[in-house]
């Protein structure tokens, strides 16, 4: 219940309420884009400053390895399950969406950990960046396999072009660049950037989550009339993925805060980067499925219930 008293979460709830009422409240797209870039830049700086202080430790190496492993396991498991009741293109697109990550969910989780005094490593921002691309690449390969099996000509992006877009995405580059600057400048840089990257962070996050609440409410309608199996997957899959991350984190002996963030990353679903690439790379897939599921169901579930659950389980069991 305490998480609902966080102003940022309450703004998200208010956004869902306003969107459900079909209010004309709207955050202009350029401002929404700026807020997204600001949050990624601030997160990257924070992670870089933390890495400058701790250095590259065994914990860092194990956390990044675990993140890469989860980024490969989740989309493959998702595709094998979804292929039982969906065509290959939709299965690949949804598997990519759930195999990749949501930066906003991660940023909200970081804020939640800060509010509750749970320690975590700044390198987990790098783990988020590492987890973004493998699922997209895997989905394109699977879609090309489905086309070849059906004897149809390939459409959309080539794998090479998709690789380039995935690895040079502006938001991801900004996150990694800010992290590198944080590592290079260290404590002096942290003191200089504190008014920008720390003092403004909570307010910017609240404003952005208001926009996300509006978007989530307006995308819930996309799922009307869809298979109940898809609705169940949008809620249950994050729980399964988080459980796998918990087991892996415990096996590797990671710290509780890092396990919690690994669980959040594994449980999240992309609604920005993956849909943008998949819409072009796999045009045969139905956008209302992968976009509606991730933004209309999984994102609100993780923000309102998932993050407190994952953090609570990780701190209790690790």
3-state secondary structure of 243: helix
pLDDT score, position 21: 92
For 24-28, 138-142, 240-244, which range has the lowest pLDDT when averaged over its residues? Answer: 138-142
pTM strictly above 0.75:
yes
With 60 as the cut, is the pLDDT of residue 309 above it? yes
pLDDT score, position 273: 74
For 1-10, 22-31, 50-59, 264-273, which range has the lowest pLDDT when averaged over its residues? Answer: 1-10
Band (pLDDT 50/70/90 cuts) for residue 3 is: low
Number of structural domains found in the chain = 1
C-alpha distances (whole Å) from 88 to each of 60, 100, 127, 144 are 36, 18, 29, 10
Which of 303, 296, 289, 268 is CA-nearest to residue 102?
268
Range of the domain at 146: 30-317
**Residue given tokens 């990044």 in the structure block:** 64
Which of 133, 140, 135, 129 is CA-nearest to residue 74?
135
Tell me if 20 is assigned to some domain.
no
- Per-residue pLDDT tens digits for 163-210: 666 566 677 788 888 889 998 999 899 999 999 888 898 899 899 889
Tell me if 5 is assigned to some domain.
no
Tell me if 265 is assigned to some domain.
yes
What own/partner pairs with CB < 8 Å and gap ≥ 24 does 2-6 have?
3/112, 3/304, 3/307, 3/308, 4/304, 6/111, 6/112, 6/115
Tell me if 90 is assigned to some domain.
yes
Q: What's the rounded Cα separation, in Å, for the pair 25 and 214?
A: 8
3-state secondary structure of 131: coil
Which of 141, 101, 115, 136 is CA-nearest to residue 271?
101
Tell me if 16 is assigned to some domain.
no
Tell me if 194 is assigned to some domain.
yes
- Per-residue pLDDT tens digits for 264-287: 999 999 887 777 778 777 888 888
Tokens describing residue 81: 């399950």
For 253, counting Cβ atoms within 10 Å of its Cβ (0-12 exposed, 13-18 middle, 19+ buried), the class is exposed
CB 127 within 8 A of CB 134: no
Tell me if 17 is assigned to some domain.
no
Q: What's the rounded Cα separation, in Å, for the pair 234 and 232?
A: 5
CATH of the domain at 144: 1.20.1530.20
DSSP state of 304: I
The helix-helix angle for 103-115 and 7-20 (nearest 10°) equals 140
Tell me if 310 is assigned to some domain.
yes
With 60 as the cut, is the pLDDT of residue 153 above it? no
């Amino acid at each position: 219940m305490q998480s609902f008293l966080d102003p940022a979460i309450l703004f998200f709830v208010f956004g869902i309420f306003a969107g459900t009422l079909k209010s004309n409240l709207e955050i202009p797209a350029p401002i929404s884009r700026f807020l997204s870039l600001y949050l990624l830049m601030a997160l990257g700086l924070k992670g870089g400053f933390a890495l400058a202080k701790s250095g590259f430790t065994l914990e860092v190496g194990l956390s990044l390895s675990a993140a890469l492993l989860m980024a490969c396991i989740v989309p493959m498991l998702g595709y094998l399950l979804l292929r039982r009741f969906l065509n290959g293109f939709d299965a690949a697109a949804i598997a990519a969406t759930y195999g990749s990550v949501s930066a906003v969910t991660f940023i909200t989780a970081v804020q939640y950990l800060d509010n509750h005094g749970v320690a975590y490593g700044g390198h987990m921002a790098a783990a988020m960046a590492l987890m973004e691309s493998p699922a997209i690449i895997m989905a394109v390969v699977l879609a090309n396999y489905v086309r070849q099996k059906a004897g149809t000509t390939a459409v959309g992006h080539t794998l090479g072009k998709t690789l380039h877009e995935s690895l040079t995405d502006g938001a991801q580059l900004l996150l990694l660049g800010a992290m590198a600057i944080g590592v290079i400048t260290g404590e002096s840089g942290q003191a200089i950037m504190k008014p920008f990257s720390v003092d403004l962070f909570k307010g910017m996050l609240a404003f952005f989550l208001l926009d996300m609440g509006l978007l989530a409410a307006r995308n819930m309608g996309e799922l009307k009339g869809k298979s109940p199996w898809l609705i169940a997957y949008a809620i249950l899959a994050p729980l399964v993925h988080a459980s796998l991350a918990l087991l892996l984190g415990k096996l590797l002996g990671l710290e509780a805060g890092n396990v919690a963030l690994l669980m959040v990353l594994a449980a999240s679903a992309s609604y920005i980067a993956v849909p943008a690439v998949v819409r072009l790379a796999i045009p045969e897939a139905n956008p209302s499925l992968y976009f509606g599921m991730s933004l209309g169901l999984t994102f609100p579930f993780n923000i309102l219930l998932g993050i407190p659950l994952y953090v609570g389980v990780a701190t209790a069991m690790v």
